[in-house]
């Protein structure tokens, strides 16, 4: 069995940040593995550890900078990795879910996995759409917002729990091959071991561009474009308590007592 895991290196914005044009200034950003993808990697790797003949392949769309993050996925136990990049992607103000799905589908067609795991969403742009769009591109079945995954012994059906709102979950049987978008909390992601990190340096990381994948510039056509980026205006009516911790704590205690806390 082969499991393909899509991972994304996401940008986190520092508490104090600046926006320049249509981007957050590079100096305000910290790059890291998308939290949801970390759970997807764990789900694939732990399944591979407890079953025979399971290959875990990681794919990521991103510039060379991402290789450190991709190596982290390898260090956690993935077998090999593919990075897709093309300078033409940097010319886009935003890479739409449809374009990401088109690129990932081209990789998936080459790899022919039984299962594709993605995160529910990425913490930076938060579209939450790429995984299910990818399933439709591939003609795979799918389930979104999965918080429990049980892959059947005959590899034809998986039983999943989908997280709905309000603490409700839905139980669904899904025919394979399928794409599952993985929710946080589904497992306990491991930390990479020192041995894993050393081993990851020598593991295969193939780099492909659009031409390698049989795609052309028209596959990057997107009808959605970023027009502006700004800090949201706060409609806050918050009263900030100021001073040393002792002063703010004293003032807060007064407020709480007035509100009737611990009468």
Partner 1 sequence: MSVLAVAEHRNGEIRDVSFELITAGRELAEDRGEPLHVVVIGNPVDHFASELNLDGVDTVHTFDRNEEFNHNVYLQVIVQLVDAIDPSTILLPHTSNSLDFAPALAVRLNRPIVTDVVSIKTEDGLIVTREMYGSKVETTIGIRSDRSVITIRPSEWDPTIAPGKAAVEAVNVSIDEDAIRSTVTGFGEVAAGDVDITEADVLVSVGRGIDSEENLSLVFDLADALDATVAASRPIIDNDWLPANHQVGQSGKVVSPQVYIAIGISGAVQHVAGMKDSDTIVAINSDPNAPIFDIADYGIVDDLFDVVPEVIEQFDL
Residues 77-116 that bind partner 1 (CB under 8 A): 94, 96-98, 101
State which residue, 182 or 213, has the beta carbon closest to partner 1: 182
What radius of gyration, in Å, describes the C-alpha atoms of the chain?
22
Residue written as token pair 């081209």: 106
The one among 46, 92, 184, 203 contacting partner 1 by CB under 8 A: 184
| 150 DSSP β-pair partners | 159
Using DSSP's 3-state secondary structure scheme, residue 79 falls into: coil
Nearest approach in angstroms of CB 246 to partner 1 is 5
Q: Under the criterion CB under 8 A, does residue 229 sit at the interface with partner 1?
A: yes
Residue 13 dihedral angles phi and psi, to the nearest 5°: -95, 130
Both tokens of residue 37?
Answer: 């993808």
State which residue, 19 or 205, has the beta carbon closest to partner 1: 19
Positions in 242-261 near partner 1 (CB under 8 A): 245-246, 248-250, 252-253, 255-256, 259-261
Positions in 24-53 near partner 1 (CB under 8 A): 24
Residue 234 CB-half CA count within 13 A:
3
Q: Under the criterion CB under 8 A, does residue 165 sit at the interface with partner 1?
A: yes
Positions in 118-157 near partner 1 (CB under 8 A): 120, 123-133, 135-137, 141-145, 147
State which residue, 87 or 231, has the beta carbon closest to partner 1: 231
Using DSSP's 3-state secondary structure scheme, residue 125 falls into: coil
Nearest approach in angstroms of CB 26 to partner 1 is 14
Alpha-carbon separation of residue 185 from 4, 5, 47, 104, 120 (angstroms):
20, 17, 16, 25, 12
């Amino acid at each position: 069995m082969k499991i393909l895991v899509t991972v994304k290196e996401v940008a986190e914005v520092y508490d104090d940040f600046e926006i320049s044009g249509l981007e957050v200034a590079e100096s305000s950003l910290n790059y890291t593995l998308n939290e949801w993808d970390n759970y997807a990697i764990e789900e694939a790797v732990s399944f591979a550890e407890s079953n025979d003949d399971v290959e875990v392949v990681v794919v990521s769309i991103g510039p060379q900078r991402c290789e450190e993050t991709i190596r982290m996925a390898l260090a956690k136990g993935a077998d090999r990795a593919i990075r897709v990049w093309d300078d033409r992607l940097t010319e886009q103000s935003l890479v739409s879910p449809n374009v990401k799905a088109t690129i990932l589908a081209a990789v998936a067609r080459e790899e022919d996995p039984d299962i594709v795991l993605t995160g529910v969403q990425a913490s930076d742009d938060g579209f939450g759409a790429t995984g299910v769009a990818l399933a439709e591109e591939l003609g795979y079945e799918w389930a979104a917002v999965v918080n429990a995954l049980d892959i059947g012994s005959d590899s034809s059906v998986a039983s999943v729990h989908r997280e709905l709102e309000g603490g409700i979950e839905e139980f669904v049987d899904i025919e394979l091959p399928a794409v599952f978008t993985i929710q946080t909390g589904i497992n306990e992601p491991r930390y990479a071991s020192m041995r894993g990190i050393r081993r990851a340096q020598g593991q295969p990381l193939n780099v492909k561009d659009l031409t390698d994948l049989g795609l052309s510039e028209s596959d990057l056509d997107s009808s959605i474009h970023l027009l502006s980026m700004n800090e949201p205006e706060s409609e806050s009516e918050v009263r900030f308590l100021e001073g040393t911790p002792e002063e703010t704590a004293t003032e807060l205690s007064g407020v709480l007592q007035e509100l009737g806390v611990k009468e």
